[in-house]
Amino acid sequence: MLAYPMLNSWFYLRAFAKQLQDQATGSFFGQPWTHQKGTIQIPIEGAPSLGGFSFSIQAALPYLILETEMTPPRKRVPVLPGLQGMRIRQVQWHRNDRQILLRLAPENALLLIRAYGKNGNIFLLDQEFQLRDSFKKARKTPVIDTTQFVTEDILQLDAATLYAAREQHPQQPLKTVLRRLPIPFFDAALIAEICHRSDIPGSTLVVNLSSEDIHHLYSVLSELLAEIESPRFYIYPGNPPLFALLQMQTQEDPEPEVFRSLAEAVRQYIGSFYRHRSLEQKRTRLLRTIQTQLQQSTRKIEKQRRELRDMPTADNFRRWADAIMANLSGIEAVEPRLQLPDPTQPQEMIEIPLDTRLSAVENANRYYAKSKSIGKSREQLKNSIAEALTHQEKLHQLARDIEQSNDARTLHKIEKKHFGDLSAASKRSDGERLPYSEYQIEGWTVLVGRSARDNDQLTFHVARPHDLWLHAENVRGSHVILRNPHKSDSIPATIIRKAARLAAHFSQAKHSGLVPVVYTFRKYVRKNKKMPPGAVFHQFEKSILVEPGLPGS
């Protein structure tokens, strides 16, 4: 194709082979090497303006590119050892397939390049067409017809061919017929360009094309093929970028970059491609993080709304307490259940459960305290739901900002501002997996275990004795370590609370409104050999009631 994501169209390979023929004939191959999976560098010695070529079969962007210079990296693996020292006698390309054939001396050996994207390969054949070696392991010798390879051809098409196509395939749409023309590999992008320039929709049945349409189409095709022959190459910026061998009038993006050098154009395109790919990967990662937070927030709001709906109201307990206090003189003995007039509706009686171990006044005070506690809990739940809804709206707006960002700098600013505390580190710089994720809270480092076995590794092999250990109380969850490098006996309460919110978030109680979290110094956490992974016992712990959440939420 001429467009993203493939670079090795037949037209491109033809241009590549022509330049290689002009610049490398008579030159010698150096020792090929690879330093990255799916990529091979083949140096050429003795060519004044050519260092060799690179071939990649990586799925993201397969390519074949001429290199003006080739500097071997320190760490590399030699490949195709039999190619070194062979001289290039001739370069040919296939008439209608994405293959290039290099005829070599001595021994009349052949180097066959099949640019089939991620299924491509390079074969070294002897003069009997038997396989001597290949870049990617080959199960069998490739079958080739050397008569189909040429060193010269002319990109041209006559009007009679178009008339014949109309007669042979009258009920076929134009876009289908264009693919069957003698010029190989008219791909979707190129066919769209032909239809655009001729102002004939690709869905038009060819039987409906008039003679005038045929001649106009012939004129457009001739013009287009002549442009492909010209030494100009184009890169169109966009999402994604587009590489073309001619000026694409279908593109409404800004003016393309124009290159005279094929190698320079391809190098520039590969850079643009991977910058765009990196941008899209970061965008996807940030949006996935937001989506995860939105899902967690939605589950939390639903659970809190159920808790609020099922929670008794403070009015009931206050009514019981008021009834007891209003009838103290009439209560002779504290019984398990007592019938008293309702203070709000004195003509009706209410039944009040009492604790017989307490006096009537103590029972009333207990219900007053419950009323106050429930009222506070209901208010906290309402505030928590309101805050979660506000946070969700901010997340939706942040997602819109990320989707509309078209450059890496803007995305980096968004990530640094909004995701600094949310992007946990779970790998070392050398790529080794760590048993914990790392968070930063106002300059304090917090480590969160990733699994039961990771919890043991974190607590007993990573944490230090004076670090603070936290865990959600009475439920399964991650061990959380608050680093205490200065061995302080007094860690700020606000930092402990935020670390406790992490412990609650990474526990089975993460969707509860409030979660009790215990904490103690790591030196007071123990484990015996019979305990399962993640299970411990602890001493001198304190407890704190917190709302689950990540830093910054």
Please name the helix (run of DSSP H) or strand (run of DSSP E) that holds residue 526, with its range, or none. strand 525-526
Write down the H helix ranges in 434-524.
Answer: 452-457, 493-505
Per-residue model confidence (pLDDT) at position 158 = 83
- Residues across the chain: 553
- C-alpha separations of 220 from 134, 169, 285, 367, 490 in Å: 42, 21, 44, 90, 81
Please name the helix (run of DSSP H) or strand (run of DSSP E) that holds residue 165, with its range, or none. helix 159-168
- Which residue, chain included where needed, has tokens 């009537």? 360
pTM (predicted TM-score): 0.64
Per-residue model confidence (pLDDT) at position 420 = 54
Angstrom distance (rounded) from CA 176 to CA 187:
10
Angstrom distance (rounded) from CA 395 to CA 248:
39
Per-residue model confidence (pLDDT) at position 543 = 92
**161 with 181: CB under 8 angstroms?**
yes
> Which DSSP string corresponds to 282-322?
HHHHHHHHHHHHHHHHHHHHHHHHHHHHHSPPHHHHHHHHH
Per-residue model confidence (pLDDT) at position 426 = 45
Angstrom distance (rounded) from CA 433 to CA 407:
31
Long-range contacts of 113-121 (CB under 8 A, 24+ apart): 113/55, 113/64, 114/142, 115/8, 115/13, 115/55, 115/62, 115/64, 117/6, 117/8, 117/57, 117/59, 117/62, 118/38, 118/57, 118/58, 118/59, 118/62, 119/57, 120/8, 120/55, 120/57, 120/62, 121/57
Per-residue model confidence (pLDDT) at position 3 = 40
Angstrom distance (rounded) from CA 103 to CA 83:
12
Per-residue model confidence (pLDDT) at position 334 = 86
* From the candidate CATH numbers 3.40.50.720, 3.30.70.270, 2.30.310.10, 2.40.50.140, the one assigned to the domain spanning 10-150: 2.30.310.10
The one-digit pLDDT tens for each residue of the chain (553 residues) are 334 344 668 899 999 999 999 999 999 999 999 998 899 999 999 998 899 999 999 878 889 999 999 988 888 999 999 999 999 999 999 998 999 999 999 889 999 999 988 889 999 999 999 999 999 998 889 999 999 999 998 888 888 988 998 999 999 999 999 888 877 667 788 888 999 999 999 999 999 999 999 999 999 999 999 998 888 999 988 778 888 898 888 887 678 999 999 999 999 998 888 888 888 988 998 999 899 889 988 998 898 888 888 877 788 888 888 998 988 888 888 889 989 998 888 889 999 999 889 999 999 998 888 888 888 888 888 888 898 899 899 999 999 999 998 888 888 888 877 775 444 444 444 445 788 988 888 889 999 999 999 999 999 999 999 999 999 999 999 999 999 988 988 899 999 999 999 999 999 988 888 889 999 999 999 999 889 999 999 999 999 998 898 886 6
Per-residue model confidence (pLDDT) at position 492 = 93
The half-sphere exposure of 488 on its side-chain side, counting CA atoms within 13 A, is 12
Nearest to 126 by CA among 107, 113, 112, 140: 107
Give CATH 2.30.310.10 domain extents, the chain: 10-150
Tokens representing 386 are 């309101």
Per-residue model confidence (pLDDT) at position 425 = 43
- C-alpha separations of 172 from 46, 167, 168, 169, 197 in Å: 52, 10, 9, 5, 20
Per-residue model confidence (pLDDT) at position 552 = 67
Per-residue model confidence (pLDDT) at position 6 = 42
